[in-house]
Structure 1
Amino acid sequence: MTDWHGSDLEKIATAEELDLASERSNGTLRDPVTMWVVRSGDRLYVRSVKGTGGPWYRGTQSRHQGRVETGGVRRDVTFHGADPDEYPGVDAAYRRKYGHYPSIVEHVLTERARTSTLRLEPR
């Protein structure tokens, strides 16, 4: 696992949204998708409201690589499926950061969404 540079970690973690572009099997980037991102410990995570069947999530599975951009940071990343023992910390991070959107945040706290939790690691 590669660690985030401290300032990049903080900038991404505090940004309201993140643009995520996954790589196609030929190495080109798909159009970016704007989504929520959270920090749990020193790791960054994203989830699909639609679970593993969500289109952007499926796109991450061809090469498990892509690019994220937000808060003045653009980084190439790898996508790693989170372990179920990471879910509670990620759930708590979503509640802390996006709890002011109560009718929306609940959608990323479902079991379907949890199974799509991806850890973003810089490459």
Structure 2
Amino acid sequence: MKTWNGSDLEQIGAAEELDLQSERGDGSLRDPVTMWVVRAGDQIYVRSVKGPDGPWYRGTQSRHQGRIEAGGVRQEVAFREADPSAYTGVDAAYRDKYARYPGIVEHVLTDRARASTLRLEPR
């Protein structure tokens, strides 16, 4: 597993949003999707409000790689299923970072959303 360098980890983790492009089966990139992003420990995570049925999430499943851009960092990444043991920390990161959106943040804390938790790994 590759790890984030400290500067990129901080910049992405502090960014309000992240643009994610997944690769299609032929290697071309899909249109970017803007979403919330959190840092939990030394890892970066995203979730789909619609869970595994979300269109952007399904797009990550064809090649499990793509590109992200957040906080001035543009990086090729691998999409890795998060270990369920990470969910509590990821939940806390979402609550802390997006606390000013109390009616909205709850949507990324459901069991359905948790099932789509992806860890972003630089490549």
Q: TM exceeds 0.5? A: yes
Give the corresponding residue for 1:18.
18
Distance in 2 of aligned mates of 1:111 and 1:17 = 22
Distance in 1 of aligned mates of 2:18 and 2:54 = 17
Aligned-partner SS, 1:113: helix
Aligned-partner SS, 2:66: strand
- Listed as ranges, the gaps of 5+ residues in structure 1 are none
Give the corresponding residue for 2:113.
113
Report 1:22-61 matches (<5 A).
Answer: 22-61=22-61
Deviation at 1:91, TM superposition (A): 0.1
Matched pairs, number: 123
For 1:24, give the aligned amino acid.
R
Please, what TM-score do these two structures have when normalized by structure 2?
Answer: 0.99
1:73 matches 2:73: yes
- Listed as ranges, the gaps of 5+ residues in structure 2 are none
| Moved >4 Å (runs of 4+) | none
For 1:94, give the aligned amino acid.
Y
Aligned-partner SS, 2:56: helix
String of CA shifts for 1:70-107, please: whole Å, max 9, x gaps: 11110000000001101000000000000110000000
Please, what TM-score do these two structures have when normalized by structure 1?
Answer: 0.99
Distance in 1 of aligned mates of 2:100 and 2:72 = 24
For 1:90, give the aligned amino acid.
V
Taking every aligned residue pair, what percent have the same amino acid on both sides?
A: 75
For 1:10, give the aligned amino acid.
E
